[in-house]
Structure 1
Amino acid sequence: MSPHSSAAPAALPAAQVMAAIGGIYMAQSVVGGIAFQGVPALLRDGGARLDQVGLAYLAFLPWALKFLWAPLVERRRLPQDSLRRRTRGIVLPGQWLLAALLFLLAGLGQPALPVLLAVLGLIALVAATIDIACDGFAVEQLPPGRRGWGNAIQVGASYLGMFLGAGLFLVLAASQGWRVAAAAMGGLILLLTLPFSLVREPARPAGTAPHRPSLAHALGRPAVRLSLAITVAFQAGTRLAYGMTGPLLLDRGVELASVGWINGAGGVAAGLAGTLAGALAIQRWGALQAAAAAMAVQAGTLAAFLAVVLDGSAAPSWLIALALFKAGAMAAGFVTLYAFLMGQASLAQAGVDFTLFQCADALTATLGGLAAGTLAQHLGYGACFGLAAALGAAGTIAVPALMRRLAPHPVSGERSV
């Protein structure tokens, strides 16, 4: 039996899987919301330059580079000498450490930028490592017929986490101070870990062939290489625009607390609507056609955003409306893209393969965030959102073409190389 053609593993009850991954992915987004929306907005409100705001995206590097240690995590999670899975032994201690670091951040108060970036980087390192194991768990425990709704749960939970990390964090920081906001987020991480703590993973099927997870095995598969290109093309435009949306609203006269609510309650509502739309699109058309449609919607939204940015007389309400619509389009895109990518991960090392796809997305986000800050600072918001719109338009052509090259093959990573 080849390592990428292992039999489908025994699955946990669907409700338990959905609750477990929902809690963990929500916790991941709490951290992401703090680092990539909450902290940039606070820095800008405190008078930081846009290129300094962009430095906050360096904390995204662990998510971009976690593929380097993903094989080590996956070898621990799926030992060669046993059929047991050890996901809980990685995820639970990691979540507890993550909460402890947020409590440390609360104790430090709002530190100087170098210290803040260092602590955020350590938090990101822990969260990214947890994510490797959780991704493998999700791919294993979500059969193909449930991947659309499983990704909807993940993305929906992520938007709720974003509400708490980017929205509630900003509101608490503005009204109660940094210490209360960071401590509240640490307590929330512990609460969100509870559903996963109840999981008891089934062993892998008897007869599963021994396999040593590796990057070489992943990158040796054409499906993985094509999927990496798909991820970058799909996300490039949206990721470039994402980082400067909050600072743009602030610079157009929207108050910090209002940006918090826009990122939070409004973003959650838009994100959940987009999540539902993405899941329904997958049910109706399949992952490939649904992802192509989501790509087109994202490109159209970026073009509209550029038009409003260039119109200096446009009321802030137009930008707010487009920011919310963009959040919904991003959510639909995440659901459709990752449902497709789950099908390209080998069951023998799902944590490694799926991590590679996420790292391509995270690296795109990191470079996009840094480039957005530089472009906006030196050339203006128009240059930033103009390039984002151009990349989105190019993706509407490239993404469907690349996906069709994989379409003739069965999904779930159970095909020959």
Structure 2
Amino acid sequence: MAQTPPAAKRGLSLRTLLTDGRVALMLPLGFSSGLPFLLVFSTLSAWLREAGISRTEIGMLSWVALAYSFKFLWAPIVDRYDVPVLASLLGRRRGWMALSQITTAAGLVGIALSDPQTSLPLTITSALLVAFSSATQDVVIDGWRIDAAATERQGMMAASLQLGYRLALICAGAGALYIAEFVNWRSAYLSMAALMIVGLAATIAAPRLDENSPRKRLPFTAAILEPLMELFRRKGLILLPILALVACFRLPDFVAGVMANPLYIDLGFSKADIANVSKLYGVWVGIAGAFAGGIAITRLGLWWALLIGAFIAASSNLMFSWLAMEGARLDLLILAISIDNFASGFAGSALVAYMSGLTAPGYAATQYALLSSLYALPGKVIGGASGAVVDAYGYPLLFSATAAIGIPLVLLCFVVRRDTMQKDEEPATATATAGSRA
């Protein structure tokens, strides 16, 4: 766990940090990182449902987002090898960054030119390309960020990245739905593809850091398996319930998230209503929840924040069961989004802080990548079957079942309580920000 830097290292003035060009570059890079995620997840689900695609198929199509969960598998390739031509022009990091951004834009154009009703295979193929390229971009941006600045500047770098990411969620969520409502879906996705130029411009403007850096030639076991084995050696058998908690902590959010937009469409809400409440207002409520989670960690301790987050994030899904039974009530939609997004943001802060505390010096980056991939994987795998559950049993049962996942989560929190309480007695860590991609 990273300790709070001493006063001397924290002496950098706010003005110095805010005028640091590297911090400023994280804003457009964060925007480029966040833009594609919703476009292959909930925004695409809304288009597919409106096009008449079955909920079962929509649920299975959400599996394209698994690329974000398996990105650690090809991260060593990105870290060790150069992109032909682009690497000689931009350097290794920026070469991979530019390639992933161009490929992501091409995939978004492919989705725009497809028609889910007549050319669903093209839609799926293009979505897979976007997910894979976007996940690769995340790996490279994180690598560049770590290389670009010393530890005492990483907090501001991460904050700038998160702000850009959240702004992108508004564009890809509310913005795309507005364009689809008043123009059409093709224009919405073409507009999003054009916005990838923001990240590409930042890549070109970013300083070249890696001209003289050695290429890493570590074997696969050393790059991937050794950090995991270090966790087992350090934690022992308690690591098993820890990993179970990490893997299932956001399961209710991911499973319910696949069917949220189809629910709104089926109830009769307009795309403008969904954009206003879920994709615009809801994002800011989520940010408030994330800050509340950070405050809770400081005031109550990590374990209490983790326990509260596990309970409220799961139980908030009961609001969607209520909404499904009541029908298209805008007031109830606002209430459901308010409670769910606040709870999700709170739980996200708690989980990020918890996973950060599990890492060890020398393995922090790889162990965090493995843990963040683990927490997203089960939800995305099981979320693919959510449409089939709705088709067979209806929306209320699905959301009630996801809320019930909170029961074993709370029990797991008590199992790992002693280990987590030890974290609260260690020196304070830098406040973690909540991220929902993966």
Smaller-chain TM-score bracket = 0.7 to 0.9
Q: How far apart are the structure 2 equivalents of 1:389 and 1:286?
A: 25
* Identity score, percent: 23
Runs of 5+ unmatched residues, structure 1: 78-84, 413-417
Matched length: 395
Letter in 1 for 2:344: M
Residue 237 (structure 1) aligns with: 252
1:57 aligns with 2:72: no
Contact 1:64 1:359 in 2 (8 A): yes
Could you say what secondary structure the match of 1:221 adopts? helix
- Greater relative contact order: 1 or 2 (C-alpha under 8 angstroms, separation 6 or more)? 1
Residue 219 (structure 1) aligns with: 228
1:199-240 CA-partner distances (Å, limit 9, x unpaired): 44768xx9xx99665221122022695664332121112222
Residue 53 (structure 2) aligns with: 48
Please, which of 383, 390, 393 is the counterpart of residue 379 of structure 1?
Answer: 393
Letter in 1 for 2:227: A
How well do the aligned residues superpose, as a CA RMSD in angstroms?
3.8
Could you say what secondary structure the match of 1:48 adopts? coil
Q: How far apart are the structure 2 equivalents of 1:146 and 1:387?
A: 43
Residue 317 (structure 2) aligns with: 302
Contact 1:243 1:369 in 2 (8 A): yes
Residue 282 (structure 2) aligns with: 267
Contact 1:169 1:181 in 2 (8 A): yes
Q: How far apart are the structure 1 equivalents of 2:415 and 2:81?
A: 37
Q: How far apart are the structure 1 equivalents of 2:266 and 2:327?
A: 14
Change (3 A) 1:344 1:131: farther
Q: CA deviation at 1:185?
A: 0.7
Change (3 A) 1:349 1:26: farther
Contact 1:240 1:372 in 2 (8 A): yes
Change (3 A) 1:312 1:297: same
Residue 375 (structure 2) aligns with: 361
Please, which of 63, 71, 94 is the counterpart of residue 66 of structure 1?
Answer: 71
Greater mean alpha carbon deviation, residues 346-355 or residues 112-121: 346-355
Letter in 1 for 2:229: G
1:243-277 CA-partner distances (Å, limit 9, x unpaired): 11111122222123322333321222222222332
1:279 aligns with 2:294: yes
Letter in 2 for 1:295: A
Contact 2:115 2:123 in 1 (8 A): no
Q: CA deviation at 1:122?
A: 0.9
Residue 252 (structure 1) aligns with: 267
Contact 2:64 2:128 in 1 (8 A): yes
1:390 aligns with 2:401: no
Q: CA deviation at 1:390?
A: 0.8
Q: How far apart are the structure 2 equivalents of 1:331 and 1:156?
A: 14
Q: How far apart are the structure 2 equivalents of 1:261 and 1:106?
A: 23
1:394-414 CA-partner distances (Å, limit 9, x unpaired): 2233236436525536699xx
1:345-366 CA-partner distances (Å, limit 9, x unpaired): 4564555323222222332232
Which aligned pairs between 1:171-210 and structure 2 lie closer than 5 A? 171-195=178-202, 197-200=204-207
Greater mean alpha carbon deviation, residues 372-381 or residues 19-28: 19-28
Letter in 2 for 1:218: P
Q: CA deviation at 1:165?
A: 1.2
Change (3 A) 1:405 1:147: farther
Could you say what secondary structure the match of 2:358 adopts? coil
Letter in 1 for 2:168: G
Residue 34 (structure 1) aligns with: 39
Residue 434 (structure 2) aligns with: none
Please, which of 328, 342, 347 is the counterpart of residue 356 of structure 2?
Answer: 342
Contact 1:105 1:182 in 2 (8 A): yes
Residue 88 (structure 1) aligns with: 94
Change (3 A) 1:150 1:398: farther
Q: How far apart are the structure 1 equivalents of 2:114 and 2:328?
A: 41
Q: How far apart are the structure 1 equivalents of 2:187 and 2:328?
A: 37
Q: How far apart are the structure 2 equivalents of 1:27 and 1:176?
A: 24
Could you say what secondary structure the match of 1:220 adopts? helix
Change (3 A) 1:108 1:379: closer
Q: CA deviation at 1:327?
A: 1.7
TM-score, normalised to structure 2's length? Answer: 0.76
Q: How far apart are the structure 2 equivalents of 1:231 and 1:147?
A: 24
Please, which of 316, 329, 340 is the counterpart of residue 326 of structure 1?
Answer: 340
Change (3 A) 1:342 1:73: farther
1:14-69 CA-partner distances (Å, limit 9, x unpaired): 54555444433432332111111111111111222111221320211211222322
Which aligned pairs between 1:120-135 and structure 2 lie closer than 5 A? 120-135=127-142
Contact 2:318 2:403 in 1 (8 A): yes
TM-score, normalised to structure 1's length? Answer: 0.80
Change (3 A) 1:233 1:32: same
Letter in 2 for 1:331: G
Residue 106 (structure 2) aligns with: 100
Could you say what secondary structure the match of 2:269 adopts? coil
